[in-house]
């Protein structure tokens, strides 16, 4: 096998541009997914069935169906219904955020429920409301325990973002496919893409490890 490095050098600017968009889409999706996931987790833990049942259905749908299908539904259905036309980047962020919210909701729920109930009772005995107890007592402790799980979710999201190439979002895999189509080569574009993804996920893993050693997650 003759590996042609020159075609990689030709596409490096586009691949790096695509990698930057991959990071941007993933970061925005995890932020939006985390915010929505918090709301979803409260709905899931609600004792009112008209909150908990629809939320449970949402979680089961996004955790039980392929992300590939979800991206197509959002791109060709949800986004045009909301803004009148489709947009690959908007659809990519939306689909990834909705999917991530279903997983981060379970992370929130597990983290919140891991805090001893005695702390809630003690806060309420001091006159704090349920909202104040959650904001000042429960969530600050739970978030520290959830950081590793959120880090893993971000890593998964970076890898899953490669699927948005199918709707022509110009991220890393999109330009890898363009390179393959132009040169009719497989090894160079896909091994290069794999290497860049590996750098991104490895760097994030090391950052999480550093945070744990510094006691951020403890």
Q: Which residues of 143-154 are buried (b: 16+ CB within 10 A; e: fewer)?
A: eebbbebbbebb
**Is pLDDT at 36 greater than 60 in this prediction?**
yes
pLDDT at 154 over 70: yes
Task: Report the mean per-residue pLDDT for the chain.
Answer: 91
Q: Is residue 153 within 8 Å of 30, Cβ to Cβ?
A: yes
25-39, 80-94, 106-120, 184-198: which has the minimum mean pLDDT?
Answer: 106-120
d(CA 113, CA 138): 9
What percent of the chain is predicted at pLDDT more than 90?
68
Predicted confidence at residue 218, as pLDDT, reads: 47
pTM of the model: 0.91
CA distance 126 to 133: 10
Give the pLDDT of residue 25.
Answer: 97
Read off the pLDDT band of 136 (50, 70, 90): confident
Quick one: pLDDT at residue 217?
44
What one-character DSSP code corresponds to residue 164? G
For residues 140-153, average pLDDT:
84
- CATH code of the region 5-212: 1.10.3720.10
Domain boundaries, the chain: 5-212
């Amino acid at each position: 096998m003759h590996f042609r490095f020159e075609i990689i050098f030709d596409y490096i600017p586009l691949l790096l541009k695509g990698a930057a968009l991959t990071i941007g889409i993933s970061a925005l999706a995890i932020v939006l997914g985390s915010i929505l996931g918090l709301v979803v987790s409260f709905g899931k833990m609600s004792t009112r069935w008209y909150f908990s049942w629809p939320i449970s259905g949402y979680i089961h749908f996004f955790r039980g169906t392929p992300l590939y299908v979800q991206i197509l539904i959002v791109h060709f259905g949800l986004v045009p219904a909301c803004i009148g036309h489709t947009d690959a980047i908007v659809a990519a962020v939306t689909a990834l955020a909705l999917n991530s919210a279903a997983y981060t909701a379970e992370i929130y729920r597990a983290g919140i429920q891991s805090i001893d109930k005695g702390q809630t009772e003690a806060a309420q005995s001091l006159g704090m409301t349920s909202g104040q107890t959650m904001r000042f007592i429960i969530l600050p402790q739970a978030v520290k325990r959830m950081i590793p799980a959120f880090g893993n979710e971000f890593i998964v999201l970076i890898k899953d973002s490669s699927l948005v190439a199918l709707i022509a979002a110009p991220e890393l895999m999109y330009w890898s496919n363009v390179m393959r189509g132009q040169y009719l080569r497989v090894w160079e574009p896909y091994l290069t893409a794999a290497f860049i993804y590996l750098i991104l996920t490895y760097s994030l893993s090391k950052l999480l490890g550093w945070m744990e050693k510094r006691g951020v997650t403890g």
